[in-house]
Structure 1
Amino acid sequence: MEQMKIGDLTLTWLNGGVTHMDGGAMFGVVPKPLWSRKHPHNEQNQIELRTDPILIQVDGKNLLIETGIGIGKFTDKQKRNYGITEEAQLDANLSELGLTTKDIDFVIMTHMHFDHACGISKWQAGELVPTFENATVITSEVEWNECKNPNIRSRNTYWEQNWKPIEHQVQTFKDKVEVVPGIYMHHTGGHSDGHSIVTIERDGELLIHMADIMPTHAHQNSLWVLAYDDYPLDSIFAKEKWLKLGLEKEAWYIFYHDYKYRALKWNKDLEIIKSIQRDK
C-alpha cells in the first residue's frame, strides 16, 4: 500500500478492485490517436481504471474517500462488461494498518456511481448491510437525491443496493462542507449533477482530489471529458477552475482511478515534477 505524509496527516491507498472501461467512452470526443498516446489500452480498447479508496488519518480520525467496487456485488455478465479482474481487499488492507471497518469515522463520497459506491455495503447473512458501520457518509444533497431517484440515463449507475443500506448514515451538504478541519468537499456538478471534489489543506500544502472530472492524469486537458459526463460543460469549467488554482499553489493531485499515479504535482506547463506511483 502506497502512503503519503503531509505533516501529521497520512494518506494510504487501499485496494478497492479494478475495472477496465472503454477508452473511447473515458475520453469522450477525443480521437483515439490522441488519447492513446497518454494512456495504454488493451485489445478490447479498454483502459485500466483502479477503484482504490484513499484512507486519510488525521487528528485521531479515519476518513475514507470513495469505497471501491466491493466483493460479490457483480454478476458474471457485469464483471465481463465492466472488465472487472479483481475485487476489493479493504478488510485485509485495514487489518495491516491495525484497523477494521468499525474504525472508519467518515466516508466521503464524491458521487454515488457504482464504481465508487459498491464497496459501501456488503453481504452479511444474505442481507446487505453497511460496510463501515460506525461512519458518517457525506455526499452532496443533489447527489443523494439523484441516486435515490435516478433518471432513464443514470439508473444504470445508481444502484439501490448501494444507497439503501446506508441511508441512515448519510449527511448531505449544498455547496461546500468542512468534514474535519482542513478537509473540504466542494459541489462541482459535471460528471453527475451532484458530483463533488475534495481538497485537503495541511502543513502549507494543498491536495486536490478531482474525482471523475479528472479521473486519471491523462485527463489533465480541460477539454478531455468523459462521454459518461451528464453535464460536460460543467466538468470543463470545474476542471479549469481547480487546475488553475492548483497549479498556482503547486498542489498535489490525488487519484482514485489512475492505473499509474497515486499523486502528482504539475508545473505550469503541465509537466510532472513530483509523483507517487502505484507499486504494481
Structure 2
Amino acid sequence: MEKLQVGRASLTWLNGGDNFLDGGAMFGVVPKALWSKKYPYNEKNQIELRTDPILLQLDGKNFLIDSGMGNDKLTDKQLRNFGVREQSSIEKSLEEVGLTVNDIDSVLMTHLHFDHACGLTKKSGDTYASVFEHATIHTSAVEWNEMRNPNIRSKSTYWKMNWEPLVDQVKPFDSEVEIADGLKMIHTGGHSDGHCILVFEDGDHCFIHMADIMPTHAHQNKLWALAYDDYPVTSVHEKEKWMDFGYQRKAWYTFYHDAYYRALKFDESGEKIEEVERKR
C-alpha cells in the first residue's frame, strides 16, 4: 500500500476495487486524440479507474476518504455495465496496518455516487447494515438530501441500500466544516450538486483531495470536465479556483480513481515536481 506524509497527516491508500468506464464519458467533450495521450485505454475505449479509499490518520484519529466499491452488492448486469473487475478488500487493507473497521472514527464522503458509497454498507441477511458502525459519516447537506430523494437522472447512482442503514451516523454540513485542526470539507458542487473536496493545511504543508472534479492526473486541465458531471461549468470554475490555490502552496493533490498515481505535487506554474506512483 502506498503512503504519503503531509505535515501531521499520514495517508495510506486502501484497496477499494476498480472498474473500467468509457474514456469518452470520462473526458466529456475533449477529443480522444488529446485525452488518449495522457491516460491509457483498452480495445473497448475504456479506461481503468480505481475506487480506493484513503486512510487519513491525523492527531490520533482514523478518517476514511470515501468507501470503495463494496462487495456483493452489484448485479451481474451492473458489474458488466460498470466494468467492475475487482471489488473491495478494505478489511484486509486495514488489517495490514493494524486496524479494523471499528477503528474508523469518521468517513469523509466527497459525494454519494455508488462507486464511492457502496463500501458504506454490507449485506446482512435480507437487508443491509453499516460497515463502519462507530464512525460519523460527513457529507454535504445537499448531497445527503439528493441521496434520499434522487431525481430521474441521479436515481441510477443514489441507492437506498447505501443510505438507509446509516441515517443515525450521517452528519451533514452546509458550505464547509472543519473536521480536525487544519482539515476542512468544502462543498463545491459540479460533479454532483452536493460534491465536496477536502483541504488540509499544516504550516507550509498542504494536500487537496479534489475527488471527482479532478478524478485522475489526466484531468489536470481546468477545462476538462466529465460527461458524468451534473454541472460541468461549475466543475471547471471550482477546479480553476482550487488548482490556483494549490499551485501557490505547492500542495499535494490526492486521487481516489487514478490507476497510475496516488498523489502529485505541482509548482506555481502547474508543472509536476513530485509524485507517488501506484504500485501495479
Does the alignment reach a TM-score above 0.5?
yes
Residues of 2 paired with 1:90 and 1:205: CA distance?
28
- 1:93-108 to 2 correspondences below 5 Å: 93-108=93-108
Residue of structure 1 in register with 2:159 after alignment: 159
Residue number in structure 2 paired with 1:216: 216
Does structure 1 residue 5 correspond to structure 2 residue 5?
A: yes
Structure 1 residue matching 2:208: 3-state secondary structure: strand
Q: Secondary structure at the match of 1:247?
A: helix
State whether structure 2 residue 40 is matched by structure 1 residue 40.
yes
Which residue of 1 is the match for residue 62 of structure 2?
A: 62
Aligned residues: 280
> Using the alignment, how far apart are the partners of 1:99 and 1:134 within structure 2?
13
What residue identity is the alignment partner of 1:157? T
Q: Give me the whole-angstrom Cα distance separating, in 1, the residues matched to 2:238 and 2:5.
A: 27
Letter in 2 for 1:104: I
Q: Indicate the residue corresponding to 1:168 in structure 2.
A: 168
Once the two structures are superposed, what CA deviation does each residue of 1:85-113 show, in whole Å capped at 9, x if it has no partner?
00111000111111110010000001000
Q: Distance in 2 between matches of 1:268 and 1:24?
A: 30
Separation (CA, whole Å) in 1 of partners of 2:279 and 2:202: 25
Offset, 1:203: 4.7
Aligned counterpart, 2:110: 110
Farther-moved stretch of structure 1 (82-91 vs 200-209): 200-209
Q: Distance in 2 between matches of 1:271 and 1:27?
A: 21
Helix, strand or coil for the counterpart of 2:171?
Answer: strand
Show structure 1 runs of 4+ deviating over 4 A: none
For residues 53-92 of structure 1, what are the structure 2 equivalents within 5 Å? 53-92=53-92
Supply the distance in 1 between the matched residues of 2:135 and 2:148 (Cα, whole angstroms). Answer: 20
**2: CA distance between counterparts of 1:275 and 1:100?**
29
- 1:249 matched to 2:259: no
8 Å CA contact 2:204, 2:249 repeated in 1: no
Instruction: Map residues 250-265 of structure 1 onto 2, 5 A cutoff.
Output: 250-265=250-265
Whole-angstrom distance in 2 between the partners of 1:104 and 1:202 = 22
SS of equivalent to 1:236: helix
CA displacement at 1:179 relative to structure 2:
0.8
Classify the secondary structure of the residue corresponding to 1:91. Answer: helix
Which consecutive residues of structure 1, in runs of 5 or more, have no partner in the other structure?
A: none
The C-alpha deviation readout for 1:17-71, integer Å capped at 9, x for no partner, is: 0011110000000011111011100111110000000001111110000000011
What is the TM-score when the length of structure 2 is the normalising length? 0.98
Structure 1 residue aligned with 2:205: 205
Between the aligned residues of both structures, percent identity stands at 58
Q: Distance in 1 between matches of 2:169 and 2:188?
A: 23
CA deviation digits over 1:214-262, x for unaligned, max 9? 0001001111000011111110000000000100111100000001111
TM-score (norm 1): 0.98
SS in 1 for 2:16: coil
Q: Which residue of 2 aligns with 1:177?
A: 177
Moved more, 125-134 or 112-121: 125-134
Q: Secondary structure at the match of 1:237?
A: helix
Q: Distance in 2 between matches of 1:149 and 1:6?
A: 37
Q: Is the 8 A contact 1:254 1:264 kept in 2?
A: yes
What letter corresponds to residue 212 of structure 2 in structure 1? D
* Paired residues of 1:129 and 1:165 also in contact (CA < 8 A): yes
